[in-house]
Amino acid sequence: MSIQATIEWPKEDVRAMWAQIERAQKELGKSMLASIQWATRTMLSSIAASTKVSAKLRPIVSNPDKRYKKDRRRAPFGVYVYRNGKKIFKPIYRTGEYGKQRFFDKRTVAWYDRSEGSGKWRKIASGPDPANPELIVPGIKTDRRRNIWRSGFAKKTWQWAKGAVGRGGTLTLMRVPNIASVTLHRGADNPGITIRNSLNYWDKATRGGAMAIDTAIGRAARSLQRNIDDKVAKKLAAK
């Protein structure tokens, strides 16, 4: 088993896992490959369980550029997004910073909008209320910039890998091609499984960070041991 990442599993955990793989063969009659597949699924379950799922919507925040208080062309509210690891403010109180879709008319003290596609301006609710920013402009709760399109992406890659342990394959997820793969090595003398996960933020998406991955094989070995103990006990009871 291997994972394409900087992971160093403790030697004692690796030994403990191989001990359970050998038990699965000797005490349950499984083949070497079947035993490795079982161990791998157990390990991937542990990693997936430790992987966080982000919220589906970004919280609405005030514009850090306080010029919006005097300049109505600027958005009072928006969301933070990350681009190449950098935190960036995106306005959602209006569509665009400079009124391409919405603008504030000082003469009528009202907001006007033409984002529906008709090209005609229509008067909409005005009067900012910092305590209830979602009430300022209709649709702010459902603005597309709030959506975190790849919520749960990291967890899904591990779950897919677990499901692919029996057959192998390559994963395309949420329009991202070749993000992960599982390769089976079926040789009778040296069977095995290679797991590749190309996520570059797997440690940040895991509860406990890299430590949760580093300890996954140890946790999986203990879980596998319990499962084998149960199966052996049932096997003996059935005699």
Residue 135: both structure tokens together = 């009430």
The label of the residue with tokens 């359970």 reads 20
Average pLDDT, the chain: 80
pLDDT of residue 19: 96
CA pair distance 83, 127, nearest whole angstrom: 32
Query: How confident is residue 63, by pLDDT bands cut at 50, 70 and 90?
Result: confident
The one-letter code for the residue type at 234 is K
- Give 64-69's long-range contacts (Cβ < 8 A, gap of 24+): 64/89, 65/89
CA 13 to the chain's CA centroid? 26
pLDDT of residue 135: 43
- pLDDT digit string (tens) for 127-184? 544 444 544 444 566 677 788 888 889 899 999 999 999 999 999 998 899 999 999 9
pLDDT of residue 204: 72
Tell me the mean pLDDT in the region 105-112.
Answer: 68
Q: Is 112 in contact with 95 (CB distance < 8 Å)?
A: no
**Does the pLDDT value for residue 32 go beyond 80?**
yes
